[in-house]
């Protein structure tokens, strides 16, 4: 636009304003106070989603711990199979709590100790030989948690007999048994730290922090949620093994899939995790499944929409979730195989997840006036 | 005209401004230091985003603390009027140097501070109620030329007027953007919070804000409305301090607006302060008038003519660019466009080389969270970052690296869309003051200034 045209547009605008100010505004205003009540959302999250999810996971983990104890007490074919199925059930349930990495889970960095993969096989061997190995340092993250158990019960031999031998007749068997025990009881302790805090005073602290600035509950939840979706679902489960992101990529890394040794559950894990993210967005109660105050209802209350089409932002986000679900359904249950035979299907999932990342990270946070990756600073 | 330049007024108003501004800046520097922002903003980053033409200004690493120390000390000396001329020059230079290091930290109020410090270098703010005047009686005067005080008033008026003009657009007045996004986020404030759930409140705030900016200069200039206007200044700026994280700015503006009060008010104020220190009143020879010498006077006046010419033209330079100002931000900075946009973005960079190497960039490996956030919505910073990436990979031995960006920006309640042409190799684009043709159009006209 030239200067003349711009001046014209300014003059037209002033005219419009002057004229319209004589008329009055016909702006439809969503005056639904409750939907913008952040305390109600925080209460629903805490009482009907987060705490019940941790309880469910906790009971699955307890079963896994007892099955692991039976296995380590007497490693037999049947105790191995039972340990495995309890591991799978707990790993699946974990996918429904991994997104809550704020508050207590963030304080104890639960994810670091539960689900960092691929497992570090030589590091695990070193730790087995050193009973005093430090499991708190970053290098130890891929030497514990579900991915390491995956290796220990699915990857230490070519078949079940070989795996059993690893824990029975081999010279190092007692040390290996001890390491399994150590890892499992460690997971149990870490989780109970988090659950205890949620069942204690943290719940009230969480609910009372109703702002949106640094340190507020909703700010922390949304940041953790968006980060989880981007870095741990999109990148971790899909993008990195498919060779789409990271430096010097190009070739896929099928050995970086989640549950690499179990092999045929990568898809069911991503589906569970993705559904948990969808349900959280919609505020679906864990018990009963009804929807309550949520990111969706808050966005609707704010009237967030695409002004050009009139479609609400929550609908756009949910439609994209469905598109992704359909793309994930096309994948093989075994991502290792999928990546080597038809990586394009993985790329399709990634691309659609990237679109969703933008809706969540840019459009949603902008509509809610939440800052992504808070830095303490002045604005103007 | 000539008689205007011979008019005299009390030296007290400038002295009050000097003290208030100096002390507030002194506190600002201490606050900045105490919050750990010096390290976070000027030492932690691996790269910086200098302003076009000021690429030579860069962070000196740990020595930045010395610059902040100089800035803080000069602010204090400035306040007490001790070696005023040197202190004011050092204050201007050190503050401006810091602000020029990284665009990510650009704030209109930092620019305001730089400019008011620049103005103060040329004004006789130290001839009254200062250590300089106390130590050297030949520097002490009761009167100064009227235009010296008016210069400051003119500058403050210009800022309010331009800030007001910038609000006369369809986003602000017709859509109540971005306040309708920002206000509900404060609906948990005690007492007033719940009103922010209503869209009409955002309209009221938008219209009142615009009217405030456009009318406050005149209300402050007029003796009859001055007290009312100053009340409005206090309410307006305190409200913004409650609603938005804008640091010291509200207090700086509240203090600066004191300049509009009568000499009597300032003399009384200073006498009160003097009595606190056990002095009856400032010692000056009644009727003595400060005057720049002839050469200095013409230099200083020429400087101010150029200064105000630039200040008046800068906010209009956007007219020289095609496209929507809010979207391209070509000509946006240094124009007193304050709090006009809720803008957020995401930029995924890709680097390729001639031998088929390819990298998808994790921004956090190169930038701080603040830098990444600012870069993602500002085309000139996107280009600077693309060059940082190009040079980084070239240094790693990549052959003629190409840099592309997949960008996505949401502005004032619109659904996000790409900001930059994803097919443009940014490694080959050069920065300049001319229009950047690789910025994609908003395709949505914003009417008004």
**pLDDT at residue A375, as a whole number:** 65
pLDDT confidence bin for B449, thresholds 50/70/90: confident
Flag whether pLDDT at B443 surpasses 70: yes
Measure the CA–CA gap between A326 and A324, rounded to whole angstroms: 5
Measure the CA–CA gap between A23 and B147, rounded to whole angstroms: 45
Measure the CA–CA gap between B39 and A377, rounded to whole angstroms: 13
* CA separation, residue A332 to residues A271, A301, A348, B393 (Å): 12, 39, 14, 37
Measure the CA–CA gap between B15 and A367, rounded to whole angstroms: 46
Flag whether pLDDT at B283 surpasses 80: no
Per-residue pLDDT tens over the stretch B180-235: 999 999 999 988 899 999 999 999 999 999 999 999 999 999 999 999 999 999 99
> Which of B344, B389, B414, B419 to mutate: most A Cβ within 10 Å?
B344
Flag whether pLDDT at B356 surpasses 80: yes
> Which of B37, B106, B110, B197 to mutate: most A Cβ within 10 Å?
B197
State the average pLDDT over residues A105-128: 97
* CA separation, residue B310 to residues B93, B158, B304, B317 (Å): 19, 12, 10, 10
Percent of chain A at pLDDT exceeding 70: 88
CB-based contact, B40 to chain A, within 8 Å: yes
Q: Which of A307, A361, A370 sits opposite B413 (nearest CB)?
A: A307
Are B360 and A16 an interchain contact pair (Cβ–Cβ within 8 Å)? no
Q: Interior CA angle at B363 toward B359 and B369, to 5°?
A: 175
Q: What is the ipTM of this complex?
A: 0.91
State the average pLDDT over residues A130-148: 96
What is the nearest CA distance from A155 to chain B, expressed in angstroms? 32
Structural contact between residues B87 and B74, judged by C-beta atoms closer than 8 angstroms:
yes
Rounded to 5, what percent of chain A is helix, strand, coil?
65, 0, 30
pLDDT confidence bin for A25, thresholds 50/70/90: very low
Burial of A28 (0-12, 13-18, 19+ CB in 10 A): exposed
HSE value, Cβ hemisphere, 13 Å, CA-based, for B34: 7
Q: What is the residue-averaged pLDDT of chain A?
A: 91
Any idea which of A154-163, A206-215, B66-75 has the lowest mean pLDDT? A206-215
Flag whether pLDDT at B134 surpasses 80: yes
Percent of chain B at pLDDT exceeding 90: 88
Length of chain B: 449
Structural contact between residues B157 and B150, judged by C-beta atoms closer than 8 angstroms:
no
Are B344 and A213 an interchain contact pair (Cβ–Cβ within 8 Å)? no
pTM of the predicted protein model:
0.91
Kind of pairing between the strands at B8-10 and B143-145: antiparallel
Tokens standing for B279?
């002095």
**pLDDT at residue A10, as a whole number:** 52
What is the nearest CA distance from A354 to chain B, expressed in angstroms? 10
Are A304 and B244 an interchain contact pair (Cβ–Cβ within 8 Å)? no
Per-residue pLDDT tens over the stretch A27-55: 444 445 678 999 999 999 999 999 999 99
pLDDT confidence bin for A380, thresholds 50/70/90: low
Flag whether pLDDT at A376 surpasses 80: no
Are B199 and A31 an interchain contact pair (Cβ–Cβ within 8 Å)? yes
Per-residue pLDDT tens over the stretch B285-300: 777 899 989 999 999 9
Measure the CA–CA gap between B446 and B449, rounded to whole angstroms: 9
CB-based contact, A29 to chain B, within 8 Å: yes
Q: Which of A38, A366, A371 sits opposite B188 (nearest CB)?
A: A38
Flag whether pLDDT at A12 surpasses 60: no
CB-based contact, B327 to chain A, within 8 Å: no
Any idea which of A18-22, B28-32, B171-175 has the lowest mean pLDDT? A18-22
Per-residue pLDDT tens over the stretch A226-251: 999 999 999 999 999 998 876 655 67
Nearest CA in chain A to B166: A10
**pLDDT at residue A246, as a whole number:** 64
Percent of chain B at pLDDT exceeding 70: 98
Burial of A30 (0-12, 13-18, 19+ CB in 10 A): middle
State the average pLDDT over residues B69-82: 98
Flag whether pLDDT at B95 surpasses 90: yes
Show residues of chain B in contact with A40, CB under 8 Å. none
Flag whether pLDDT at B236 surpasses 50: yes
Are A366 and B181 an interchain contact pair (Cβ–Cβ within 8 Å)? yes
Flag whether pLDDT at B5 surpasses 80: yes
Any idea which of A33-37, A263-267, A283-287, B365-369 has the lowest mean pLDDT? A33-37
Q: Which of B170, B188, B344 sits opposite A13 (nearest CB)?
A: B170
Are A31 and B169 an interchain contact pair (Cβ–Cβ within 8 Å)? no
pLDDT confidence bin for A23, thresholds 50/70/90: very low
State the average pLDDT over residues A80-95: 98
């Amino acid at each position: 636009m030239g200067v003349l045209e711009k001046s014209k547009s300014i003059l037209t605008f002033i005219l419009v304003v002057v004229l319209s100010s004589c008329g009055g505004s016909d702006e439809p205003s969503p005056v639904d106070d409750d939907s913008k009540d952040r305390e109600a959302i925080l209460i629903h999250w805490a009482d009907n989603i987060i705490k019940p999810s941790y309880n469910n996971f906790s009971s699955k983990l307890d079963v896994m711990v007892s099955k692991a104890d039976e296995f380590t007490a007497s490693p037999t074919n049947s105790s191995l199979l039972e340990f495995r199925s309890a591991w799978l059930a707990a790993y699946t349930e974990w996918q429904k709590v991994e997104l809550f990495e704020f508050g207590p889970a963030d304080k104890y960095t639960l994810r670091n100790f539960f689900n960092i993969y691929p497992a570090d096989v030589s590091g695990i061997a070193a730790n087995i030989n050193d009973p005093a190995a430090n499991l708190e340092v970053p290098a130890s993250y891929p030497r514990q948690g579900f991915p390491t158990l995956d290796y220990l019960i699915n990857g230490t031999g070519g078949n079940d007999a070989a795996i059993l031998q690893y824990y029975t007749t081999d010279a190092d068997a007692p040390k290996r048994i001890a390491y399994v025990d150590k890892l499992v009881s460690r997971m149990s302790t870490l989780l109970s730290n988090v659950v205890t805090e949620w069942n204690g005073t943290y719940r009230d602290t969480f609910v009372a922090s109703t702002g949106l600035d640094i340190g507020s509950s909703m700010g922390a939840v949304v940041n953790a949620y968006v980060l989880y979706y981007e870095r741990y679902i999109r990148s971790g489960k899909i993008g990195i093994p498919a060779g789409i992101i990271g430096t010097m990529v190009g070739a896929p890394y099928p050995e970086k899939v989640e549950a690499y040794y179990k092999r045929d559950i990568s898809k069911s894990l991503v589906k569970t995790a993705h559904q948990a993210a969808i349900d959280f967005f919609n505020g679906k109660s864990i018990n009963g499944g009804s929807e309550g105050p949520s990111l969706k209802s808050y966005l609707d209350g704010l009237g967030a929409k695409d002004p050009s089409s009139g479609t609400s932002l929550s609908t756009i986000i949910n439609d994209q979730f469905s598109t992704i679900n359909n793309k994930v359904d096309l994948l093989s249950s075994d991502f290792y195989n999928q990546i080597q035979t038809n990586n394009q299907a993985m790329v399709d999932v990634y691309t659609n997840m990237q679109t969703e990342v933008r809706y969540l990270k840019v459009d949603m946070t902008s509509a809610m006036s939440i800052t992504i990756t808070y830095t303490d600073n002045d604005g103007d | 005209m000539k008689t205007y330049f011979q008019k005299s007024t009390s030296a007290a108003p400038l002295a009050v401004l000097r003290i208030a501004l100096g002390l507030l800046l002194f506190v600002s520097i201490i606050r900045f230091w105490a919050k750990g922002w010096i390290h976070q903003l000027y030492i932690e980053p691996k790269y910086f985003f200098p302003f076009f033409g000021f690429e030579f200004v860069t962070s000196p690493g740990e020595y930045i603390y010395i610059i902040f120390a100089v800035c803080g000390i000069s602010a204090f000396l400035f306040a007490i009027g001790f070696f005023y001329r040197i202190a004011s020059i050092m204050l201007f230079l050190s503050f401006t140097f810091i602000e020029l290091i990284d665009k990510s930290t650009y704030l209109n109020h930092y620019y305001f501070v730089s400019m008011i410090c620049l103005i103060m270098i040329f004004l006789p703010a130290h001839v009254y109620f200062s250590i300089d005047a106390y130590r050297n009686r030949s520097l002490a005067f009761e009167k100064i030329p009227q235009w010296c005080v008016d210069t400051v008033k003119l500058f403050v008026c210009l800022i309010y007027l331009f800030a007001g003009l910038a609000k006369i657009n369809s986003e602000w007045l017709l859509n109540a953007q971005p306040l309708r996004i920002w206000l509900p986020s404060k609906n948990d404030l005690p007492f007033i919070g719940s009103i922010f759930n209503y869209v009409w409140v955002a309209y009221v705030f938008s219209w009142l804000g615009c009217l405030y900016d456009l009318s406050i200069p005149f209300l402050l200039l007029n003796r009859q409305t001055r007290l009312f206007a100053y009340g409005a200044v206090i309410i307006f700026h305190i409200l913004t301090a409650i609603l938005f994280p804008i640091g010291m700015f509200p207090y700086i503006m509240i203090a600066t607006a004191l300049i509009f009060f009568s000499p009597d008010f300032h003399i009384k104020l200073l006498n009160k302060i003097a009595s606190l220190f056990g002095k009856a009143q400032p010692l000056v020879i009644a009727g003595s008038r400060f005057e720049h010498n002839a050469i200095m006077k013409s230099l200083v006046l020429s400087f101010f003519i150029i200064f105000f010419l630039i200040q008046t033209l800068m906010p209009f330079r956007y007219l020289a660019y095609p496209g929507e100002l809010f979207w391209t931000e070509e000509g946006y900075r240094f124009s007193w466009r304050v709090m006009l946009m809720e803008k957020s973005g995401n930029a995924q960079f890709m680097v390729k080389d001639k031998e088929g190497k390819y990298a998808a960039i994790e921004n956090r490996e190169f930038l701080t969270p603040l830098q990444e956030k600012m870069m993602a919505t500002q085309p000139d910073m996107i280009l600077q970052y693309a060059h940082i990436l190009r040079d980084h990979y070239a240094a790693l031995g990549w052959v003629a690296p190409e840099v592309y960006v997949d960008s996505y920006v949401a502005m004032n309640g619109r659904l996000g869309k790409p900001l930059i042409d994803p097919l443009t190799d940014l490694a080959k684009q050069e920065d300049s003051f001319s229009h950047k043709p690789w910025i994609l159009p908003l395709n949505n006209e914003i009417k008004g200034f």
